[in-house]
Amino acid sequence: MLTDRINSLSESLTIAISTLAAELKAKGKDILSFSAGEPDFTTPQVIKDAAIQAINDGHTRYTAVAGIPSLLDEVVNKLKRDNNLNYEPKNILVSNGAKHSLFNLFQAFIQEGDEVIIPAPYWVTYPELVTYSGGKSVVVETKDGDGFKITPRQLKEALTPKTKLLILTTPSNPSGALYTKEEIEALGEVLKGTDVMVASDEMYEKLVYDGKFTAVASVSDDMFKRTITINGLSKSVAMTGWRFGYMASVNDELNKAVRKLQSQSTSNINSITQYAAIAALNGSADKDIEDMKVEFKKRRDLAVDLINASDKLSVIKPDGAFYLFVNIKAVTDDSMGFCTKLLEDKGIALVPGVGFGSEGYVRLSFATDEATIKEGIGRIIDFCNSY
């Protein structure tokens, strides 16, 4: 009855596990969930006020598909101010979350026979979107020793005449790895002279604790032309429910194509969210963003110290995002079995590494309070000791 392409699609594992944990909790079970990729903070007041104002001002109608002009200007300003990138409003398409931006991109740009290079561990959604577009994922396994980052040599070896796109995520979900400017330049050197485009997912840009964030498109003229920058507000400003993301690219043909697709699917995003997003992007929430980051950093340091104090688990301190990608190989390689039993026995929800393309690891989100982190990691260590 259904299409082959929908039958080949898997449900998002991260969403499935967070939903299961919430259901068990609602039934009264003692569950501590470290599965959600979602800040536990509420959206800053200045942003909520902008949304309320937009409702009262009557901004309740359809808008241009790509977003209202003042919002597109604000995205352009943000990319200039934060990343030294010179985009124009016509280069920006605002969509219903960065996930939707990625969906549009893959539908417009990837088809049967195209290869997409995805460094693992990767965010669960990428290979699914590649499959749904008819393309083929070429997964490149990165090593803890390389800080979970694809090396120029690995990239070179993965390239074929069919390669259409490379996906980079900095900082990474699930490893938190942050690419330095030099590392991005070196990857750019490998791509020079090819037609390969780069999708750079920079969702966690504002959550960097060590080192300096570098936008992939900013390292050279050549990379600016071949990079499609994907970003949003879900993580940096605690706006997961508002649904705001964007893609930026100087490729006019691609921009026309994704606008056309969105004009026939969702049209513009929620008009109220667009006004809220202006307040989130124009600097008025910067203090709130900084406060959340300080809190996340404290939690990261606490969680890393607790994990690394155990002799069965280890983790590389992540430079950014709010996840630990914990090595469980001293206990087992079977991350799905580990997570299933951990949830049953100890009421702890983690996401198995296999969902991110890397067996022998689990993802722990530290977007939760310190007491929960202490209690939860204590239970995980007890569990490992008796596994």
In the structure encoding, which two tokens stand for residue 41, read together?
Answer: 């903070």
d(CA 376, CA 247) in angstroms, rounded, equals: 37
Contact call for residue 123 and ligand PMP (CB under 6 A):
yes
Those residues with Cβ within 8 angstroms of residue 19's Cβ, 6 or more apart along the chain or in another chain = none
Contact call for residue 318 and ligand PMP (CB under 6 A):
no
Contact between 307 and 314 (Cβ < 8 Å): yes
Contact call for residue 12 and ligand GLU (CB under 6 A):
yes
Contact between 376 and 34 (Cβ < 8 Å): yes
Residues in 166-195 that interact with ligand PMP by CB under 6 A? 169, 173
In this chain, which of 91, 107, 173, 227 binds ligand GLU, going by CB under 6 A? 173
Contact call for residue 14 and ligand GLU (CB under 6 A):
yes
In this chain, which of 21, 37, 250, 296 binds ligand GLU, going by CB under 6 A? 37
Residues in 80-139 that interact with ligand GLU by CB under 6 A? 99, 123-125
Round the CA-based radius of gyration of the chain to a whole number and report it. 21
Closer to ligand GLU by CB, 177 or 278: give it. 177
Determine what percent of the chain falls in helix, strand and coil, rounding each to the nearest 5.
45, 15, 40
- What is the residue whose two structure tokens read 């004009």? 263
In the structure encoding, which two tokens stand for residue 57, read together?
Answer: 């001002």
Closest to 269 (Cα-Cα) out of 303, 243, 295, 308: 243
Contact call for residue 245 and ligand PMP (CB under 6 A):
yes
- Looking at beta carbons, which residue is closest to ligand GLU? 37
In this chain, which of 36, 76, 203, 384 binds ligand PMP, going by CB under 6 A? 203
In this chain, which of 39, 44, 97, 121 binds ligand PMP, going by CB under 6 A? 97
Contact call for residue 236 and ligand GLU (CB under 6 A):
no
d(CA 322, CA 121) in angstroms, rounded, equals: 15
Least separation in angstroms between CB 134 and ligand GLU: 22
12 binds, among ligand GLU, ligand PMP, none (CB under 5 to 8 A by kind): ligand GLU
Show the CA angle centred on residue 229, arms to residues 224 and 233, nearest 5°: 145
Contact call for residue 236 and ligand PMP (CB under 6 A):
no
d(CA 229, CA 72) in angstroms, rounded, equals: 14
d(CA 360, CA 174) in angstroms, rounded, equals: 13
15 binds, among ligand GLU, ligand PMP, none (CB under 5 to 8 A by kind): ligand GLU
- Binding segment toward ligand PMP, per CB under 6 A, in 53-61, 93-101, 277-285, 335-343: 93-101
Closer to ligand PMP by CB, 41 or 383: give it. 41
98 Cα distance to chain centroid: 8
Closest to 315 (Cα-Cα) out of 384, 216, 371: 384
Closest to 233 (Cα-Cα) out of 198, 213, 205: 205
Least separation in angstroms between CB 160 and ligand PMP: 25
Contact call for residue 201 and ligand PMP (CB under 6 A):
yes
- Looking at beta carbons, which residue is closest to ligand PMP? 97
Closest to 368 (Cα-Cα) out of 335, 332, 311, 322: 322
- Binding segment toward ligand GLU, per CB under 6 A, in 9-17, 154-162, 219-227, 341-349: 9-17
Those residues with Cβ within 8 angstroms of residue 27's Cβ, 6 or more apart along the chain or in another chain = none
State residue 335 phi and psi, 5-degree precision.
-70, -35
Closer to ligand PMP by CB, 198 or 306: give it. 198
Least separation in angstroms between CB 123 and ligand PMP: 4
Contact call for residue 172 and ligand GLU (CB under 6 A):
no
Closer to ligand GLU by CB, 37 or 357: give it. 37
DSSP state of 246: E
List interacting residues with ligand PMP (CB under 6 A).
Answer: 37, 97-99, 123, 169, 173, 201, 203, 232, 234, 240, 245
Footprint of ligand GLU (CB under 6 A): 12, 14-15, 36-37, 99, 123-125, 173
